[in-house]
């Protein structure tokens, strides 16, 4: 079993997350919150907003063995940071105490659109 954090509209509200895990709910909540905080430290070098607020993180799956699978995308397949951003995400999530092996999967479906951005990202990018 595992716990999945759907990134869309999460805003670190992990206290309402349903748990089907061998991990205690408070540990899942802590890990989820700290993983989101770590993801918010990763910025696309060309965009002054973090990848979480941009909506590039589609899913975070915390497994019973504390390994974490991250499903993410980029704003475009031709993104110049395509080679470095997944590694940056892996390093950020792996820095969370208690996290095991981190696997980052780069996906293109569904395609990213500006609709996935949070209000915070829209404000930073002046995209109202």
SS (H, E, C) 71-82: EECCCCCCCCCC
pLDDT of residue 16 exceeding 50, the answer is: no
Task: Give the closest residue to 60 by CA, choosing from 71, 49, 52, 50.
Answer: 71
Structure tokens at 50: 């973090």
Task: Give the closest residue to 76 by CA, choosing from 56, 52, 49.
Answer: 56
Q: What is the pLDDT of residues 110-125, one digit of tens each?
A: 999 999 999 999 998 8
| Number of Cβ atoms within 10 Å of the Cβ of 82 | 13
Gap between the Cα atoms of 65 and 52, Å rounded: 24
What mean pLDDT do residues 47-61 have? 94
What mean pLDDT do residues 36-52 have? 93
């Amino acid at each position: 079993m595992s716990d999945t954090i759907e990134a869309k509209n999460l805003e670190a509200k992990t206290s309402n997350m349903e748990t089907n895990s061998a991990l205690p709910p408070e540990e899942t909540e802590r890990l989820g919150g700290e993983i989101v905080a770590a993801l918010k430290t990763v910025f696309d070098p060309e965009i002054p907003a973090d990848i979480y607020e941009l909506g590039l993180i589609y899913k975070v799956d915390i497994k019973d063995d504390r390994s974490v699978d991250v499903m993410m995308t980029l704003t475009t397949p031709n993104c110049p940071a395509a080679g470095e951003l997944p590694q940056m995400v892996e390093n950020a999530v792996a820095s969370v105490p208690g996290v095991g092996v981190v696997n980052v999967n780069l996906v293109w479906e569904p395609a990213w659109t500006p609709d996935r951005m949070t209000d915070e990202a829209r404000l930073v990018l002046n995209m109202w």
